[in-house]
Structure 1
C-alpha cells in the first residue's frame, strides 16, 4: 500500500508539473494582426507562419554563412537594439567593411509593405534577401552558394524538414522561412498604441504635438504605420554620390531624388536619419523641414504649399511635435526575446 501510494503521489506530481509548465509557456500564435492596424498585404495564405518556420527564419537572419566569407548576417546591419537599423553609421558597412551608399532601413511591420528598399526596387518580401546576399558591398555571395553551405551544415536539413516537410533546402523554402521571421517583427506596443487602445493618455505637450503632426505630417506619415509607402523628394538635395533614388528603378523624371517615406516609429533608436544618414538628431530633421528644404523640379508638392519650400513650425510647435514623436518609441520591440539572436 505504501508503494502504491508513493507511485500515485509521483504520478500526480508529474501531471501537476507538466500542466504548470504548459501554462507558463504561451502557445505560439503565429501572425496576429494588431488592433487598429490595417489588413497585411503579405500573402499569408501562401506562407502561413509556423513555430518551426519562424524559428528557422530567425536562425537564418542571424546566420553569417549568408555572406561570402561567413562574417556578415542580416542581423549585422539590422540590430534589434536599434529597431533593426545600423546604428552609428551614416551609410552602412558590409563585408570586409565595404561602404554602401545608404543607411540600412529598419526591419519593422514589413507585412504591410508593398515595396522594399529606399528606392522600392523590390516588390516581394520573399525576394528581399536576394539583394543583400548578392550585393558586392553587403554580403557578396550567391544564393546557390548559400544553399550549398546550409545543406552541409547541421542542423539546417532537419530544421527545414520540421518547417517544410523535407530536408531539401531550396531558394523558395529559405526565403519563405526568412519571411516568416520578418513579418513577425511587429512594433505595436508604443505609448501611442496604448493611447489608441484606451490604455493610456497623452500629456498636454504630446497631445499638442499630435495635433501638429496631423496638420503637417500625416499626409505622408500616415497612421498607424506612419508611412504611406510612397516615394517623395523631401528637398534634402543630392548627397555626395548623387543617389537618384526611385529614378534608378523607374527611369521616370518625376522620380528623381525621390525615396520611400520611412515610418516614424522608434525614432529614438534609429538615428541617423534619411536614406544616407545625413541628420544625426531629430532636431536636425525639423530644422531641415522648417528652413533648409531645397527647391527642385521634383520636390514634393506638399512641401511647397505656402509658396516657400518647407513647413512653417514655431519653436514651440517643434518641441510639441518631438514630444509626440517620442510616444512612437516601442521599448518592448527592441527587447523582445522572440526576435533576438539567442533562443528565448
Structure 2
C-alpha cells in the first residue's frame, strides 16, 4: 500500500479544523469526534510522513510551516471535492431545467453577457432564461423560488438571500466642458449643492434611492430631483441644456461637449452583484459563483475597476438576452 493512500479526506478535514481552531478540544467539538481520537489521528499523520504539523503550546496548538502548507492544500482539495460532487447535480439540473436569471435595468449589459456566457461555457446544453424587472420585484420572485438568481445593484435587505459582488464602478459628475467647474480636477461637494440632478425614484430600486439621498445628505448636498429615467441620452441632453449636472457611471460614453469630474473626498460607487437563495438553489449556482469569483477577482476589494468590455456576440449567443432587454 502506497503512503499516498493513507491520507484520506477525513484527515484533511481534521487538519483544517485544528488549523482554524488552534485548539484540539474546539476542533473535536466542531468535527463531532472524540478529542483523544482527533489528537491520535493528527499524531499518526505526523509520524507516517515524518513531519511536524502542529506545535503543542499552553492554550492549544500552533501551525508549523509544514502545517500551514498542508492546511492550504487541504482546503483546496476539500473545495475541489465539494465542487466535483456539486457538478454532478449541476449538470443534471442544467440539462433538465432552465437557469432562470433575473436582471434589473441598472445592470450593465456587459455583466449580463458575462454571467450568461459563464453559465453556457460550463453547461453547453443548458438554457439561460432571462427576465428583466424592477429590483424589488426580482428579490421577491427570487425569495419565492420563481428565479434561480438575479443581477442587481446593491444594496438590498432580505436576510434569506445571499449576494456575491461582481464589480464596483465609481460615480462621477457629468458636466459641460465649458462649465467653469470643469476647470477643476476634482469637484468639492459644495460645488454640487443645488446643481446636481438625480433621476432615480423609490419605485424601481427603493433601497438604492434611499441610500443615494442619505449619501447626499451626509455631504450637505441638496439635489435637484427630475423625472426618473434610465436613458443616458436624455440625461446628457439635460446637462447640455444647462438644466443640471448629473451623477453617472465613470466609463459611460459621452457627447463631445461633455466631460466628467470626480468628487473630492468621496468614493461613491454602483455595486453590481448576483443574488441567490441561501437554500433550495439550482444545482449550478455554486459552480457559477466560483467561476464568477475568478472572472471578477477584485470584486470584494477596495480596488475600483472598469467593468469588462462587452463580449463580441457569437451567432445566437445572446438572442435571449436581447429579447429580454427589449421586453423588460
Normalised to the residue count of structure 1, the TM-score between the two structures is 0.27
The structure with the largest alpha-carbon Rg is 2
Structure number with greater CO (CA < 8 Å, separation at least 6) is 2
By percentage of residues, which structure has more strand? 2
